[in-house]
Structures are given as structure tokens and as C-alpha cells.
Amino acid sequence: MNDYSRRSYIIILVFILVALVFLIRLFNLQVMDSTYKQYATNNVLREVVQYPARGLIYDRNGELLVYNKTAYDLLVTPREVKPFDTTLFCRLLDITREDLEAGIQKARKYSSYKPSILVKQISPENYAILQEQLYKFEGFHSQTRTLREYSAPAAAHALGYVSEVTQSDINKDSYYKSGDYIGASGIEKTYEAQLRGTKGVKKNLVDVHNRIQGSYLEGSEDVPAQIGKNLVTTLDLDLQLYAEKLFKNKKGAVVAIEPSTGEVLAMVSAPVYDPGLLVGRVRGANYKVLESDSLMPLFNRALQAKYPPGSTFKTINALIGLQEGAITPETRFSCAGRGSTPIRCTHDHISPANVVEGIRESCNPFMWNTFRSIIGRAKTAAEGFRTWRQYVQNFGLGTILSEDFANTLKGDLPSEELYNRIYGKGRWNALTVRSLSIGQGELGATPLQMANVAAIVANHGFYYEPHIVKEVEGDTIRSSYRKKHEVGIDEKYFAPIIEGMRQSIKNYYYIPGLEYCGKTGTIQIGRGLEHGAFEAFAPREEPKIAVFTYVENSKWGSQYAAPIASLMIEKYLNDTIASNRLHIEERMLNSNLLDPNKIVITDGAAE
């Protein structure tokens, strides 16, 4: 043996020392320190949000109104971007180099490691071209989104539109993340919770080149997206389209309701716009154009316009008079026609007139006299006014009629306090506020409210809450829609009103073979041509449809509002327009009320 053989132990000791250092190090790395496990997960895990398709929207007959089309978002993960052919890239995506640079800059600001959206809503056609070249651009990938598509360019206001969430949406509901879509108006907004479905998440494993290699834990932690629920609306697409056609080149609104249910059959705010304009990459630009249009196409007149109802309000006033005993069916008031004071009548007619004749002839003196009687029955004007006002409110004016519509307004129903402020307490009476009796003055009602009034008259004193959605897939509809709302007017008092409305049907809105009831209105406005309105229901017995049309600057109600309503009624009930009325339809379709010089008044007959 060699002298130095004991050194073998030192050498073995060195082996063991090194091994010990390794084991301590490994124990730290593998057992004590959990950060490496987190890093490993971050390395391989890519969570991909699964966006559900929004629910489909149908009309009452099962016609598809709104569906989805696929679009693609292009995302960028700044850290993974390698130098690439920017010219080709910009050309494929139809963006400028500045857009690209700003986009990547913004993405980098958000995160270098997480993907953020660079270009939104690329159409399938463009994406097909892009996809073939996408491999050339490292750090970019796409995700599938769905966009709204409309089977007909109709009912834009009722359906509403979808837009990207705002910061306040995100603050309100943590479900939403930047870049998500949310219903911003109409049905899309009211039924957002049902339509949107639930986002899912797919956890993918990726390799070092960020290529997907499969699901994490065999997909056991994936949450599939749940597609939104489908909706069946109460709208009748044919009627809706027809109404929109009739309103071409006009300003105004129409709401049609099925009186027996409160279901809204059609709802138009004119001018209309194609809902498809507010979808996809063109949305921003189109929105700006629509928003700055002086005709205010985005403004939903059917729900938000506070139109003075004019003579169409006379039905309510007369019914209150009858109910309150201020008048009886036999009560007559004399009218001096155009010479009447303090409100003149529009034309000369039979005098003194009873309530049937008062409605038929739309007699202003009859109405203010009735109004004065109602108010005068109480000790003070204020108390009488309070009673009158309560009835009007029962008819739905000055209230939010239904929660089923987004962004709907109450309208104006003046209060006692308002008049106290204007005239002083106790210093006003029925005659001071007599304009109310003919639906003018401080009164403002939405077309929805007035269509509901037509339904109330059709129903002889009650209504069902107007609503636009009939069915939510796999869900029960709100029970409030089945609740009868009584307005507090005895059924018997409706007979003379309805008779007066039936007798008033004439001229261009007379429908051969159909007995129906209507009331025109002509509303004086400060400047320009009067607004025309028409309130109607049909048929007289067992009414199927109640309509309220309002056509701005159309002179008299009989000129446009009534013919349009009559055509809609005829279309809805008969499915075709009688041949001897086709010229009326043509006149409606071809008229242009947006240009004051082109307005054609064909009939001297006033209300």
C-alpha cells in the first residue's frame, strides 16, 4: 500500500460534500421553493377565453331576426414578436403602419407577455387570406368572436346594438373584461344577461414556441362557453318592415300593440337605419355619422320622444268626463266652429254636440267644456286637476309603462306644483290649463304610451303591460305581463267613445269591409308644419291591433299618420292592401316629408 492511501477517504469525502451541496440545493429548488412550480405553469399554460355566441332573436312567427356571424380578432404578444414584413402585414389587415405601431405600443404598455387585441373583428373573408400568411408573423394569433348579423335591415331601434364594454360596465360587473361586448340599447341591452351566455375558458399547454400542444389536465379544468339564450320577440317582421317602408323619408314613430296581450307587434322610429351598420369594424365610423345626423336616427322616438298627443288625447279626456259624471252620453256643448273661444274648432259641425259627435268631429269646445266640468266638480281647481291627472296617469301617461324597453322615458304629465309655480297657488283654474283637454300644453306622451291608450280603449278599460319579448328560451316570461291593469273607467263609458271613433273613420284611412275605430290628431308646434297623429284599433269587435302613429310636420293627422296606420292595420289583418287603396300606399311610400317643399297635402278635410 502507498503512503498516501488514506487520501482516498479525503477524495470520497469531496464526492460526498459535492453531493450534499447538490442535494441541499435540489431540496430547496424542488421541495421548499414553490415559485418554480408557478413559473412552470406560466411557461406552459395559456388560458384562452371561449366567447359564447349571443342568443338568436326571432320574431313572433319564428322568423329569424338576429343571428351571429364569425369574426376574428388578431392578438399580439409583444415579447414574441420577431421582425416581420410590416408592409405585407398592414396590407393584409388593411391598417396603416401608424396604426400598427400604435397598436403594438399599446399592447406592450398593457403587458409584454400577455396577448392583447391588435385588430378587431376581421371578417371571415379577410381572415381567410390573412390566415394563410399568419405563420410569417411570430407573436400574432387570432381568436374567434361572433358578431351580430341581421336577416333584414329592420327594427334597429327595438333590437338595439352591441358595443364594446366601457370602463363603467367593467366596474359594475366583474364578468366583463376589457374588449368584451355588451348590449348597449334595445333588446340587446334589456336582455343582455340572457343573450350573452357565459364565457368559458380553455386551458392549453403550449411548447417553447408557444404552439398549442394539447389541453391542460386533459381539459378537466376547462369551462365550456355557454351560448346565450334565444329570444322570441313579439314583433311581426312583415308588419315591422311594412311600417318602416311607409315611414320612408319621414320623421316620427309608430307603435302597434296586440290589445289582448300587450305584445308590441311593430315599433318604428323614423328615420330608421340599418342595424348592420353598427356591427364590426365599420361600427365606430358609422356610429359617428349617425350620431351627427341632424335627423337624429339614433334617437328612438317610439320610446323617448315626448310628443304632445293632440286630439288623440281627447278619448282619454272624454272618458274621464263620463266616469266622473262631469258629462253623460247625452250632455251637449255648443260649438261655434272656427269662431269658438277660447279654443276655436278646426271646422264647423253639428252643434251642440254630444260625446259621440264631439269625438267624431274632434270638437275642441266640447273637450274644454268637459275638462272644465271635471275640474269644477271639486272644491278647488287644484283638487279637480288632481283627480283628472290621476286618471291620465292610469292610462299610462307620465309613467314608465314597462321595464321591457331599454332607455324608455316617462313623458310629461304636468303636476299641480308645476302650475302653482307658473301661475301661483290658487291662481289658476281649468280654463288656465284648458290646452290639456285637447292634448296640448304641457302634455308630452311617447308613441308607446299612446299606442297603449289605443289598446286600453280597444279593451274597454284595461291593458297588459306592453312588452317586446314573448319567450326566453328555457325561461319563464315575467308574470307582470299577464297582469291586467285597470284604468278605473267603467266599461260602459267606452261605447260612445268607440262609436265616435268608428264614425270618424273616413277618407284615406277608410278600409272597405273593416269596421275599425280611430282618432286623428294635429298638433300645433311653434314653427313649421303641424305634427300629425293617429290612434286606432281594429277591428271594432275583438280588436287584434292597436296602433299609434305620429308623423312630424305632416300637417294633419288625416294626411299621413292615419293613412299609414290604416295601411298597417289592413296589412296586418288582411295581409294585402285592397286594390282601390294601392294609390294611398303608393303616396305614403313615395312622399318625402323631410323636404318642406315636397310636402303634398291632398285633402282639404280637417278633423
Partner 1 sequence: MVQRSKIWANIDWVTVLLYLVLVFMGWFNIYAAVYDSDHQSIFDISQRYGKQLLWIGAGAALAIIIMSIETNFYVFFSYVIYGVMVFLLLLVLLIANEVNGARSWLEIGGFKIQPSEFAKFATALALARYMSTFDFKLKDFKSLAIMALIIFTPAALILLQNDTGSALVYFSFVLVLFREGLSGLVLFLGTLVATLFILALILSNFTLILVLLGAGVLMYLILNPKFNQFLRVLMFFAGGVLLAFLLNAIMGRKYESADVVIFGTVLGALGTLVYSLQKKFKSYVVISLFFIGSVAFTNSVGYAFDNILEPHHQVRIKELLGIESNPYGAGYHVNQSKIAIGSGGMWGKGYLNGTQTKFNFVPEQSTDFIFCTVGEEWGFAGTFIVIALFVFFLSRLVWLAERQRSVFSRIYGYSVAVILFFHFMVNIGMTVGIMPVIGIPLPFFSYGGSSLWSFTILLFIFIRLDASRLENFRDSRNA
The residues of the shown chain that bind partner 1, judged by CB under 8 A, are: 1-5, 7-8, 10-12, 14-16, 18-19, 21-23, 25-27, 29-31, 33, 35-37, 39-41, 43-44, 205-209, 213
Least Cα distance to 351 among 372, 341, 365 occurs for: 365
Residue 41 or 592 having the CB closest to partner 1: 41
Residue 196 or 202 having the CB closest to partner 1: 202
Least Cα distance to 196 among 184, 182, 186 occurs for: 182
Distance CA 128, CA 120 (A): 15
User: Do 397 and 449 contact (CB within 8 A), yes or no?
Assistant: yes
CB of 142 to partner 1, least distance (A): 21
CB of 28 to partner 1, least distance (A): 9
Residue 39 or 84 having the CB closest to partner 1: 39
CB of 191 to partner 1, least distance (A): 42
Distance CA 396, CA 446 (A): 10
Question: Letter for the amino acid at 326?
Answer: A
User: Do 84 and 104 contact (CB within 8 A), yes or no?
Assistant: no
CA separation, residue 43 to residues 27, 31, 39, 324, 575 (Å): 22, 19, 6, 79, 65
CA separation, residue 386 to residues 196, 417, 419, 472, 493 (Å): 45, 10, 12, 40, 21
Residue 8 or 96 having the CB closest to partner 1: 8
CB of 18 to partner 1, least distance (A): 5
Tell me phi and psi for residue 165, to 5 degrees.
-65, 145
3-state DSSP call for residue 146?
strand
CB of 5 to partner 1, least distance (A): 6
**Which cell numbers hold the place of 109?**
404598455
Least Cα distance to 261 among 561, 480, 23, 438 occurs for: 480
CA separation, residue 499 to residues 330, 374, 504, 505, 542 (Å): 14, 22, 9, 10, 15
CB of 118 to partner 1, least distance (A): 22
Residue 113 or 339 having the CB closest to partner 1: 113
CB of 106 to partner 1, least distance (A): 22
Tell me phi and psi for residue 300, to 5 degrees.
-85, 95
CB of 19 to partner 1, least distance (A): 5
Residue 208 or 528 having the CB closest to partner 1: 208
Least Cα distance to 504 among 309, 347, 307 occurs for: 347
User: Do 256 and 266 contact (CB within 8 A), yes or no?
Assistant: yes
Residue 13 or 289 having the CB closest to partner 1: 13
CB of 9 to partner 1, least distance (A): 9
Residue 5 or 597 having the CB closest to partner 1: 5
Distance CA 50, CA 504 (A): 59
Residue 36 or 84 having the CB closest to partner 1: 36
Residue 208 or 597 having the CB closest to partner 1: 208
CA 307 to chain centre: 18
Q: Pick left, alpha or beta for residue 204 (phi over 0 → left; psi -120 to 50 → alpha; otherwise beta).
A: beta
Cis bond before residue 124 (omega within 30° of 0): no
Residue 25 or 91 having the CB closest to partner 1: 25
User: Do 378 and 384 contact (CB within 8 A), yes or no?
Assistant: yes
CB of 207 to partner 1, least distance (A): 3
CB of 231 to partner 1, least distance (A): 43
